[in-house]
Structure 1
Amino acid sequence: MAGPRVQDTIDAGASDDRRGGDRHCTVYRLARIEREGDAGLWRVRNISDHGMMLATTVAVDPGERLQIALSEQTRLTGKVVWTREGRCGVEFDEAVDAVDILRRLAAERQSGDYRPPRLSVHGPAIAVMNKVEYPVEIENLSQNGAGVLHKGELEAGAPLELVLGGDVRRSGVVRWSRDGRAGIWFAPPLEPADLESIRRFAS
């Protein structure tokens, strides 16, 4: 596909808009993006049978290859063909049925097995409970929570504040804790911009 077809996705406003035989669907969801040396959760703005538009504050260059996980079951690959003002256009390696993908994603979300996109992260963090700081190790991150390794200090039900990457702080509660691992639920969720690159959290 030539660059202009992906460029057209900027103007996609309808949920299913046919232009020149191609379908453009406006989408507002997060996707896990993997690129050389980095990964993050980026916002999907729209998708067509041949490409998609992503929003991110992370610097990205035309020609970069991306692996795009819209869910654990739905994964796409492509290359960046344009960037402008915090957005980029991606051309898929192979054409897809965009409407069918969105239908499948909707069905997955309604199933009992749905999990929000998360990132595998290995880096230090601090759990603050009753004004005492406890070092922990991050295993994974999503907008809604984190999986961490700890030394037995975190008990299920305990409120805390988690300090991530030195400058991201979130209040939360320990949802479960066993065998030196714990799951933390954030309230409120992390901002999408906080998760656009795991480099800020890596040790």
Structure 2
Amino acid sequence: MAESDPTPILHSDAPDKASKRGAKRDSLFLLTTLLDEAGQPLGKARVRNLSETGLMADCDSHLRDGDRLVVRLRGVGDVAGRVTWVRGDRIGMAFDGSIDPRAARKPVGARSAESGPPFLRKLVRKATPTP
């Protein structure tokens, strides 16, 4: 198993090292599914960091540096890419194209203000007539 880079691709580096990777990383915890290029499930992964160009994740799959895969990201969809490093149960993945990582943080499903729990609903005050 070859390890091309000992530094996770989405690790928060110092500003002088950030230019090496080029994309701002966003820490989050997102459960996702890994697929091979044919669409066959490879298992689940926990995305720890996400950027426009890649991710770092914990996974149970036995992946190797250079493996091609697709990751199913909530709010983004299926994203193809290549494993760039493996460290135990953690992997780094470079996407084939850019994504909007903020889309993965958006709430899933359309929910109206009235459908949520009472403490999250907007309070509407009715004007009371003054005597």
Instruction: Judge same fold: TM > 0.5, yes or no.
Output: yes
Gaps of 5+ in 1: 13-18, 113-203
If the length of structure 2 is used for normalisation, what is the TM-score?
0.63
Match of 1:90? 93
Equivalent residue, structure 2, for 1:111: 110
Cα distance in 2 between the residues matched to 1:90 and 1:8: 8
1:41 to 40, 44, 57: 44
Report the CA distance between 1:35 and its aligned residue: 1.8
Residue aligning to 2:27: 26
Structure with higher strand content: 1
Q: Which has the higher contact order (CA 8 A, sep 6+)?
A: 2
* 8 A contact 2:76–2:100 mirrored in 1: no
Matched, 1:60 2:63: yes
Task: Determine which structure has more spread, i.e. the larger CA radius of gyration.
Answer: 2
Moved over 4 A (4+): none
Equivalent pairs: percent with the same residue? 24
TM-score by length of 1: 0.42
Give the conservation status (yes or no) of the 8 Å contact 2:66–2:84.
yes
- Distance apart, 1:11 and its partner CA: 3.4
Deviations 1:22-43 (A, max 9, x none): 2100010111111265432211
Question: Deviations 1:40-69 (Å, cap 9, x if unpaired)?
Answer: 221101111111011013211111111111
**Whole-angstrom CA distance in 2 between matches of 1:89 and 1:73:** 18
Deviations 1:90-126 (A, max 9, x none): 0000122323x23xx423x2535xxxxxxxxxxxxxx
1:39-188 to 2 correspondences below 5 Å: 39-71=42-74, 74-99=77-102, 101-102=103-104, 105-107=105-107, 109=108, 111-112=110-111
CA-based RMSD of the aligned residues comes to: 2.5
